[in-house]
Amino acid sequence: MKCRKCGGQAVLELRRHNAAFCVDDFVEFFRNQVREAIHRYRMLERGDKVLVAVSGGKDSLGLWDVLLDEGYTTTGLYLDLGIFEYSVESKSKCEAFAAKRGVPLIVSTVAEEVGAPVPVIKAVTRRPPCSGCGLSKRYLTNRVALEHGFSVVATGHNLDDEAATLFGSVMHWQTDALPRQSPALPSTHPKLVRRVKPLYRLSERETAAYAFLRKIDYIVEECPFAKGATSIAHKEILNRMEDASPGAKHNFLFGFLDRARPAFERTEALPLNECARCGQVTTGTLCAFCKLADQVKRAV
């Protein structure tokens, strides 16, 4: 198979684009997709202080790599979830990347902030591990960004992540979740930092290929709690559809963003308060993170 641009030996075929690329032309294709995402949703300005949430995986380290090469001012944030050897290895990947590129990395430890690591939170709450983990990640990335004066948080969510989330929301007709799904979430409160997903145009396979071809040392092993997660099941279904009809995931997500999402937007904004304990933003009196920390403290 030949590269569509230069005619050289291709290393990756992208059926949804009816194209194949060599190493250099794929890397350029990837960067162009990120530039297009940033431009279309006005995600980042040159003067922004960007906090990149990194997990040690292909997506977040690949994102950090592109943003650095594009000249943005970035700092990494690694949240140590305390998930056994998986967290030890993923943290070391982030530290090695930051050291190699000579860029700052902030490390925040969930066990210190919540009172226990994710495996204990899972046992205490009796909810799926991704639930307490996701809540802690959203809360802590925002708080760290506020405390350090970052203007925007960038995450490595890719096209497959976004399509799987949309699929889950549609399967349950979570109409309140649909308008919140966007490649760029504006700040709707002085204590909520803007969030952007510059990889939303790129599939999981494309982000993996970019990380491999750029020789980024990322953690290939899955989180031990991911097995059996609903989002994985949704990704598998979508990949079957993609195999039968290349472009299915792209059309599902982009069609929603371009044509369906506006129909679910609310006219009235939800009233936002500040948590009585920590001061972070919540729709109630006490935020979900403080409630979780209380629950953990009672049990541990």
Partner 1 sequence: MKVILRNPRREVDVPGGRRVKEVLRELDILPETVLVIRGDTMITTDQFVGPDDVIELRPVMSGGRDPR
CB 234, min distance to partner 1, A: 9
HSE-CB for 41 with a 13 A CA cutoff: 21
Q: How far is the CB of 245 from partner 1 (least distance, A)?
A: 11
Among residues 69 and 222, whose Cβ is nearest to partner 1?
Answer: 222
Residue number with CB closer to partner 1 (205 or 261) = 205
* Contact footprint for partner 1 (CB under 8 A): 1, 10-13, 15, 20, 23, 57-59, 129-131, 133-135, 137-138, 160-161, 164-165, 168-169, 177, 180, 203-205, 207-209, 212-213, 220-223, 225-227, 229-232, 235, 239-240, 242-243
Beta-ladder partners of 13: 20
Q: Which amino acid is at 191?
A: K
Residue 72 or 156: which CB sits closer to partner 1?
156
* Strand, coil or helix: 75: strand
Q: Taking the complex as a whole, how short is the minimal distance between the CB of residue 187 and partner 1, in angstroms?
A: 18
Minimum Å gap between C-beta 49 and partner 1 is: 25
Tell me the pairing of strands 281-282 and 273-274. antiparallel
Length of the chain in terms of residues written: 300
| CA 65 to chain CA mean position, Å | 15
The CB-of-143 to partner 1 minimum distance in angstroms stands at 17
Torsion (CA) 79, 82, 86, 87 in degrees, nearest 10: 30
Neighbours of 79 (CB within 10 A): 25
State which residue, 104 or 179, has the beta carbon closest to partner 1.
179
Give whichever of 193 and 223 is closer to partner 1, judged by the CB atom: 223
CA neighbor of 91 nearest in space, from 68, 107, 111, 112: 107
Q: How far is residue 21's CA from residue 7's CA, in Å, rounded to a whole number?
A: 9
CB 201 within 8 A of CB 36: yes
- Distance of alpha carbon 158 from alpha carbon 226, whole angstroms: 17
Which residue, 72 or 242, has its beta carbon nearer to partner 1? 242
Dist. CA 204–CA 44, nearest whole Å: 22
Determine the residue type at 146. L
Q: How far is the CB of 300 from partner 1 (least distance, A)?
A: 22
Q: How far is the CB of 264 from partner 1 (least distance, A)?
A: 15
Closer of 131 and 283 to partner 1 (Cβ): 131
